[in-house]
Amino acid sequence: IIPEPFCFLVAKDITDEKQKEIELLRFSNIAHYSINPLEITDVSGKIIYVNPAFEKASGYKKEELIGQNPNIFSSGKHPQQFWDKMWEVIKSGKVWSGEIENKRRNGEPFYTHLLISPIVNNDGKTIGYFGIHTDITEQKFLQKQLLHAQKMESIGTLVAGIAHEVGNPLTSISSLVQVIQRTT
């Protein structure tokens, strides 16, 4: 007797895996094409990812940044206590937010509002940090201009007041001198 041919089929539902791939692709695209500079570091603070907006803002190429510590951008304007406090917050698993003055590759300052969030694995262990920068360089420049304009306005008001205070007695003295000249 010849046995009938048969087919043996093994199947595995990969719906969840495909859904995770789609989510990862979405996140990857969001990070890559965001207008905000983004960086990811490992737990020791070494840069492992930057998006094109970060390259544009900093003036560095991705290849120059991978493996570097973000202090490569340090302007030196923040005291060590500032950074110690930031590390204390993010190492405790909390989100840190603050304004940073950095410097570009060419030495020019650039200001950002930085939000750093720990990246946590399924076991609750921190495996890295995610930094989102919002460029506030233009706002800082405008603030400095406004402050300068306000100072100049104050100086103008002060000078006008002094000129008035000095001018009144001088006018009286000038009038007296003219009266004396006419009488002599």
The span from the CA of 86 to the CA of 69, in Å, is 15
Which amino acid is residue 109, in one-letter code? P
For residue 101, give every residue at least 6 positions away whose Cβ sits within 8 Å of its Cβ, in sequence order, or none. Answer: 75, 77, 78, 109, 110, 111
Q: Is the pLDDT of residue 8 over 90?
A: no
Contact 99, 93 (CB under 8 A): no
Q: 41 to each of 2, 49, 150, how far by Cα in Å?
A: 65, 7, 41
Q: Which residue has the higher pLDDT, 57 or 148?
A: 57
Mean pLDDT of 141-160: 76
Residues 88-113 have pLDDT tens digits of 999 999 999 999 999 999 999 889 99
Query: Looking at residue 164, what is its pLDDT?
Result: 64
Q: What is the CA radius of gyration of the chain?
A: 33
